[in-house]
A and B are shown apart, each in its own frame.
Chain A
Amino acid sequence: MTTNTTANAIIGAGTGATRTKGWSPRTESILRVVAPVTLGIIVLAIWQFLVTVGGVSDYLLPSPTSIMAELVAYWPAVVSATVLTGTNSLLGLLVGSLLGIILAAVAARWRIADQMSAPIIAALAVVPIVALAPVLNSMFGADSQFGRQAIAAIASFVPIFINTLRGFRQTRPVHRDLMKAYAASSGQMLRSLTLPTARPFILTGIRIASSLAVISALVAEYFGGPRGGLGSLIATSAASSAYSRAWAYVGASIALGLLFYLATLALERLVLRRVPTGGSR
Chain B
Amino acid sequence: MTATRNDQRGEVAVRPASSPGAVAKPARTRLLGGFLWGIAGVALIALIWEGYKFFGPDNGVLIGELRVLPRTTDLAMPHLWDMMTRLAEPVTRADGALPLWAVVALASLMTLGIAAAGWAVGVIVGVVFALLMQRWRLAEFGLLPWIVISQTVPLIAFAPIVKSWGSRVEIGSFEWQDWMSVALIASYLAFFPITVGALKGLQSPDRIHVELFDTYAAGYWPTLVRLRLPAAVPYLLPALRLGAANAVIGAVVAEVSTGLQGGIGRLLIQFAGQASGDPSKAWGPIFGAIVLGLVTAGSVALLGIILKDYRRTEEAA
Chain A interfacial positions (CB closer than 8 Å to B):
1-6, 8, 10-11, 13-19, 22, 31-32, 35-36, 38-40, 57, 59-60, 108-109, 111-112, 114-120, 122-123, 125-128, 130-135, 137-141, 144, 146, 168-169, 171-173, 176-177, 180, 186, 189-190, 194, 210-211, 214-215, 218-219, 222-224, 230-231, 234-235, 238-239, 241, 243, 246-247, 249-250, 253-254, 256-258, 260-261, 281
Cβ contact within 8 Å between A108 and B14: yes
**Interface membership of B294, Cβ < 8 A:** yes
B256/A223 in contact, CB under 8 A: yes
Give the complex CA separation of A234 and B6 in angstroms. Answer: 57
Cβ proximity bits B63-104 to A, threshold 8 Å, 1 near / 0 not: 000111011000111000000000000000000000000000
Can you list 27 pairs linking A and B with CB atoms under 8 Å apart?
Answer: A1-B316, A13-B200, A15-B203, A36-B145, A60-B165, A109-B13, A116-B40, A118-B34, A119-B42, A128-B249, A128-B293, A130-B252, A131-B252, A135-B283, A137-B272, A138-B76, A138-B276, A139-B70, A139-B76, A144-B67, A173-B3, A222-B159, A224-B269, A224-B272, A230-B157, A234-B161, A258-B153
Neighbouring B residues of A258 by C-beta, 8 Å:
149, 152-153
Determine if B148 is an interface residue (Cβ-Cβ < 8 Å): yes
Find out whether the CB atom of A169 lies under 8 angstroms from the CB atom of B71: no
| Interchain CA distance A57-B161 in the complex, whole Å | 13
Residues of chain B with a CB closer than 8 A to A173's CB: 3, 5-6
Q: Which residue of B lies closest to A189 (CB)?
A: B13
In whole Å, how far is B146's beta carbon from the nearest beta carbon of chain A?
A: 6
Distance (Å) between the CB of A131 and the closest chain B CB?
A: 4
Provide the residues of chain B in CB contact with A210, threshold 8 Å. Answer: 152
B142 beta carbon closer than 8 Å to chain A: yes
* 3 interchain residue pairs of minimum CB distance: A134-B272, A116-B41, A16-B203
Other-chain contact of A119, B6, B41, B204, B286 (Cβ < 8 Å):
B41
Within 8 A of A (CB), among B203-233: 203-207, 209-211, 214
- Give B235's nearest chain A residue, CB to CB: A4
Taking a contact as CB atoms under 8 Å apart, the answer to whether A17 and B5 are in contact is no
**B148: chain A residues within 8 A (beta carbon):** 10-11
A171 touches B253 (CB 8 A): no
Q: Is the CB of A130 within 8 A of B141?
A: no
- The answer, yes or no, to whether B285 is at the interface (CB within 8 Å) is yes
B interface secondary structure, majority: helix
Query: Judging by beta carbons under 8 Å apart, are A250 and B200 in contact?
Result: no
B125 within 8 A of partner (CB): no
**A243: chain B residues within 8 A (beta carbon):** 161, 164
Distance between Cα atoms of A281 and B246 in the complex (Å)? 15
Which of A1, A39, A126 is B143 in contact with, Cβ under 8 Å?
A39
What does DSSP make chain A's interface, helix, strand, loop or mixed?
helix
Residue pair A234, B157 in contact (C-beta under 8 Å): yes
Judge whether B14 and A109 touch: CB under 8 Å.
Answer: yes
Q: Is the CB of A4 within 8 A of B153?
A: no
B274-317, CB under 8 A of A: which get 1 and which 0? 01100100110110011011101100000000000000011011
CB distance from A187 to the nearest CB of B (A): 8
CB-CB < 8 A to A190: which residues of B? 13
In the assembled complex, B268 has its CB within 8 A of some CB on chain A: yes
Question: Is B196 an interface residue when CB atoms closer than 8 A count as contact?
Answer: yes
A223 lies within 8 A of B272 (CB): yes
Q: How far is the CB of B105 from chain A (nearest CB, A)?
A: 15
Contact B7 A35 (CB under 8 A): no
State which of B151, B152, B160, B204 has its C-beta within 8 Å of the C-beta of A234: B160
Once the chains bind, are A8 and B34 in contact (CB under 8 Å)? no
Q: A146-B66, A173-B6 are in contact. Are A127 and B238 (CB under 8 A)?
A: no
- Choose among B7, B71, B153 the residue that contacts A253 (Cβ–Cβ < 8 A): B153
* A-chain residues with CB within 8 Å of residue B207 when the two chains form the complex: 17
Whether A35 touches B141, Cβ cut-off 8 Å, given contacts A114-B17, A126-B297, is yes
